[in-house]
Amino acid sequence: MSDTPLKVTLDRDGKLLRLRLNMPKANIVDAAMIAALGKALADHASDRHLRAVLLEHEGPHFSFGASVAEHMPDQCAEMLKCLHALILQMVSYPLPILVAIKGQCLGGGLEVALAGHLMFVTPDARLGQPEIQLAVFAPAASCLLPERMPRAIAADMLYSGRSITGEQAAGYGLANSASEDPEASALGYFDATLAKHSASSLRFAVKAERADMIERVTQRIAFVEELYLKGLMATKDAVEGLNAFIEKRPARWEDQ
């Protein structure tokens, strides 16, 4: 396993920032990964020659999700604060963030992907928010999924915890394309379109397209974070579900 959670490179003559999740096979979205992503995005946000970001990954899977240990009651407040700061940073980023996904993209990993702008997946990728199966809910995804796909499908994913395939994601409009090589598809899209545009004008286009979404998600993130910390985490079942997962045993629900 690498000691560096994120590979950061500039490509296409400095026009494309490539961020590669670098902790395979799980690519867990933990405190170190969140910090590395946030820093890389902040460091390059004012680069006037940059036209886009490509978020990709080492290994067969985009991410198995957030660290369950960091979701425990003694750590979850700080974890959510940091994760939601990253989500809002990505949602309001001044340039398009292209996300290339293979394999599993679950939980906090999918929340990070949803905060991007355009998504490229393999047909057999698995995208899901399984949090409800641990008796918790996905705060950021509760805000982002209904923004990115039909609300009825988003509700089903959040309530059931089931995953959808990359092919389904493309069919629902969540993903822009489903192909065997999503990184190549994302790069092809960049080369054919974004690379040719004025970087200055592209920033205005992104701001215009995202303005109302940024406002809605910012307000809703604050609401769901409080609901999670002050409501959900005060229940017995939420703590039991997390403990059962860590202890690798069936959960015993008390429905309270």
C-beta of residue 244 within 8 angstroms of C-beta of residue 253: no
Return the pLDDT at 174.
98
Confidence (pLDDT) at 248: 95
Q: Tokens 């995208």 map to which residue?
A: 127
The string of pLDDT tens digits covering residues 26-66 is 999 999 999 999 999 999 999 999 999 999 999 999 999 99
Quick one: tokens of 149? 């796909």
pLDDT at 2: 60
What's the confidence (pLDDT) of residue 74?
87
pLDDT < 70 positions in the chain = 1-2
pLDDT at 187: 98
- Asked whether 117 and 137 are in contact (CB, 8 A), the reply is no
